[in-house]
Amino acid sequence: MITIIDYGMGNLRSVQKAFEHLGFPTLVTRDKKKIAKASKIVLPGVGAFKDCMHHLEEMDLVDSILGSIRSGKPFLGICLGMQVLFTESEEFGKHKGLNVIPGKVVRFPESALKVPHIGWNQIQKKKEVSFLKKVPNKSFVYFVHSYYVIPKDKKVITTTTEYGLSFTSSIQKDNIFATQFHPEKSQTIGLEILKAFANA
C-alpha cells in the first residue's frame, strides 16, 4: 500500500488521484500505526517550510517519517516534502528540517525572472536512477516554488533545472527519491515517475 502522509498541508488529493489513475491503491493518513505498516511512503507538500515542520511536530509525525526512512522502504518527497528532508531552511528566518539530507533550502536570488518559479521547465539528468529510467533527458515537468535545495553531497543530485541559475530539481539517497517539481501535475512524464516509484 502506498501511504500518503496527511499533515494538514499540501496537494494530497491530486497525488492520490495520480496513483489511482495508474491503478495503485493508496491511503491518505496521519495514523502512525498505518504509516509504520505502509510498504511505500509519500510526503507531498505545498506551503511554507516553517509551517510544515510545525504541523509534523504538532501531529507527532517526525518519528514516523524518520522510522520509515530508516526501515529502507521506498520514500518519495514532493516539493515542500523534499525540502523538509534537508538540514535547514532560510524561508522566513532559519528553521530546522528533518536533517535526513545534509544541506539547506534557500530563496531564488533577485533577478529579471519572476519568483515564485511557476510553470513548465526542463530537467537535466545528472545520473541515471531507476525512478527516471523511462524519462527522457530534458523532459518538461511542472514547478511551483520560491526556494530550492542545496545538498552538501552533490552525489545525491539526479536532475538539475535552469532558472536564472542551475538548481537541484531531484535527488536520490538510498531509498529516498525526492523532487522539487510536482510529478502529479507533470502529465505523462510525471506519471512515469510515479509508476516507477510505485513499482520500486
Active site residues: 79, 182, 184
Cα 79 from Cα 161, distance rounded (Å): 14
Angle at 85 between CA 147 and CA 188, to 5 degrees: 70
Q: Which of 147, 53, 48, 156 is nearest to 104 (CA)?
A: 147
- CA-derived radius of gyration, the chain: 15
Neighbours of 20 (CB within 10 A): 12
Cis peptide bond upstream of 116, omega within 30: yes
